[in-house]
Amino acid sequence: METPNLDPPPREALSPNGTAETDHAEQPAAARQLVGRLDATEATIGVVGLGYVGLPLAAEYATQGFETRGVDLDEDRVDRLNAGDNYIEDLDDDAIDGLVETGRLRATAHYEKGDEVDVWFLCVPTPVTATNEPDPSYIEAATRAIAPHLRPGQLVVLKSTTYPGTTEDVVAPILKEEGPDDLTLGEDVFLAFSPERIDPGNDEYTTANTPVVAGGMTEACTEVARRAIGQIIADVHTVSGPKAAEMEKLLENIFRSVNIALANELAQFCERVDGLSMWEVVDAAATKPFGFMPFYPGPGVGGHCIPIDPHYLSKVAKTHDFETSFITLSAQVNEEMPRHVVDAVIETIAREPVRLQDAAVLVLGVAFKGNVSDTRRSPADEIIRLLREKGVGQIRYHDPHVEHYEVPGAGDDDRTEVPSVELTPEVLRRHEATVIVTDHDAVDPGLVAEHAPAIVDTRNALSGINDPALREKITLLGAG
């Protein structure tokens, strides 16, 4: 079999800020054809992975009138979506149902008729292994699935957060080896990276109004990606190539990881100084109108990106004989915060007239951040695991956004369900210690402060409680 030619042609000069300057008439014929279909709202959009990133993206394209097909291996998720059942909190139930009803949005667990898709977006997970090694297997599998369906006039955009070089060194070779023989990258088919910028629970910035970055394998790839993404997002900033776009996404998240780690380390120092509160210090520093951005301590970091991205960067750095010491240390500080919280809970229980094995602990909030249901890599996982390891007798949780919650067990695939309880005065009084892991607005701080015998507050959720008698019951993370 003749080796397919998916090697990109030489890159043309870019403008000083990295944006493509090629005139539309100079674009390859396949690019002009695809852009024409996009501008006429005739293009078919394919979204692989219908989770927190993929479904909002698919919904935006369908809203703008594009026929949109979602692919997800979870057949239960596919069935729910095809029935008009929305499962993403940030999306409107009626809007999703309406898009499905019109036929513009549909889902499948298969890739049949993939050649009918004009633009593929890959929105698949990028986890790490048990040893914190990057796991690109989902990207590889998705790429292999679409490769046989490639044809002239198609664009592939990877959106999954990953390390610099993934698009060029993982995705492009698979398309080259497993795609049709006679396609040239940048002439017939186009490949780019454009990282997601989803912030669960953010009502102000959504998929539609959050600026995004895009970088293609060639100038033509970048321009086609800009035009495709520009159908639903007004502000698309282009960069010199996929590596810059991949690194940009890591910078966004590592910036947060490093600054949260700084707040967490200073919080532990403040706990040793009588009368000093990190929360008061940060609020005071935040009055400076320039040169400072407030970051607050907490029980650890969660979600898909922030706990993982430092490890992705560390891995690729080692291949270039570079050690990301500062970034790695910051990640370690954040990863140790659940243990610090558990130590505070154990000390709190020690002041109560009960043995540890007879004690009951109530975990308030198991989502990784306030007012969302997303539990991916939540600090609550490690906090509950450590409490069990310490021998705490009973652990229950309350979270108004999470109906069922499981934590990792002894085996790789072992999950153990944590009992959920209603938040009532009686329930609070039955637990020797209550630990606030997530600050949901729906939880009444007054109810917790009045009825819980002892509280470990990792989010300063009870800052409005001023009664000295109630404050005596509260151990605040970051306060001496």
pLDDT per residue, tens digit, the chain (480 aa), is 334 445 544 444 333 344 444 455 588 999 999 999 999 999 999 999 999 999 999 999 999 999 999 999 999 999 999 999 999 999 999 999 999 999 999 999 999 999 999 999 999 999 888 888 889 999 999 999 999 999 999 999 999 999 999 999 999 999 999 999 899 999 999 999 999 998 888 889 999 999 999 999 999 999 999 999 999 999 999 999 999 999 999 999 999 999 999 999 999 999 999 999 999 999 999 999 999 999 999 999 998 888 888 888 888 898 899 999 999 999 999 999 999 999 999 999 999 899 999 999 999 999 999 999 999 999 999 999 999 999 999 999 999 999 999 987 765 567 889 999 999 999 999 999 999 999 999 999 999 999 999 999 999 999 999 999 999 999 999 999
Q: How far apart are CA 474 and CA 464, in angstroms?
A: 12
User: Is the four-CA dihedral 301, 233, 42, 178 of positive or negative sign?
Assistant: negative
Residue 270 annotated as catalytic: no
- pTM given for the model: 0.90
**Which tokens is 203 given?**
């009502």
The pLDDT of residue 416 is 87
Dihedral in degrees, nearest 10, Cα atoms 213, 40, 123, 221: -50
CATH number of 24-240: 3.40.50.720
> Greatest CA separation found in the chain?
80
Catalytic residue among 123, 221, 270, 305: 305
The pLDDT of residue 190 is 98
469 class by beta-carbon count within 10 Å (0-12 exposed, 13-18 middle, 19+ buried): exposed
- Under 8 Å between Cβ of 415 and 438: no
Bridge partner residues of 212 (DSSP): 236
User: Boundaries of CATH 3.40.50.720 in the chain?
Assistant: 24-240, 275-476
CATH of the structural domain 275-476, one choice from 3.40.630.30, 3.90.850.10, 3.40.50.300, 3.40.50.720? 3.40.50.720
At residue 254, the 3 state secondary structure works out as helix
The pLDDT of residue 18 is 41
